[in-house]
Amino acid sequence: MKENLPRIVVIGVGNLLQKDEGVGIHAIRSLQEMDLLADVKLVDGGTSPDLIAYTMAGEKMIIIDCASAGGEPGEIYRFNPEDLEAGRSRLTSAHEMGVVENLKLMEITGNKPKETVIIGVEPAEIGWGMELSETLEKKLPEVVRMVLGEIGIESSRD
């Protein structure tokens, strides 16, 4: 069964109805417009980080989410679940605990990927609306390039 797993799973988490809170979903939609390798699976996780535990993981899982860590709006963070568990991150996200709990569930069930990377983006605006703030709209190509780099694909797309 393991040989049928995607090598890399990219999950965008967030609420598309609350502006920058939906940055993970916007990033997944941008990635869906690209020709990616066949062994890369893109998942719109919406507001249900529980989906993570039910995603068959291969070598690497990349989670994209809105993340408040006290930086400038649009700042992009890269960290791993151990940073959250050990308190080494100032990150706070509506999905933070759900992500950590679900990764632990994956480990218990023998479905934990070899590597998990979380890409968080500091929001500029959280409020009603389906569009990203101007700040995050400008940062979205950089988020996508960062994900492509994690996948092992270089991109010149802006």
Q: How confident is the model at residue 139 (pLDDT cuts 50, 70, 90)?
A: very high
Measure CA of the first residue to CA of the last residue in the chain; give whole Å. 38
Residue 52: strand, helix, or coil: helix
Give the pair of three-digit tokens for residue 141.
């190509």
* pLDDT digit string, tens, across residues 80-128: 877 766 555 555 554 555 667 777 777 787 778 889 899 999 999 999 9
Taking the model in full, what pTM does it have? Answer: 0.85
pLDDT tens column, 43-59:
888 776 566 656 676 78
Structure tokens at 41: 């699976």
Hey, what amino acid is at 107?
Answer: E
In the chain, where are the structural domains located?
2-151
What is the SS3 assignment for 30?
A: helix
- What's the CATH code, domain 2-151? 3.40.50.1450
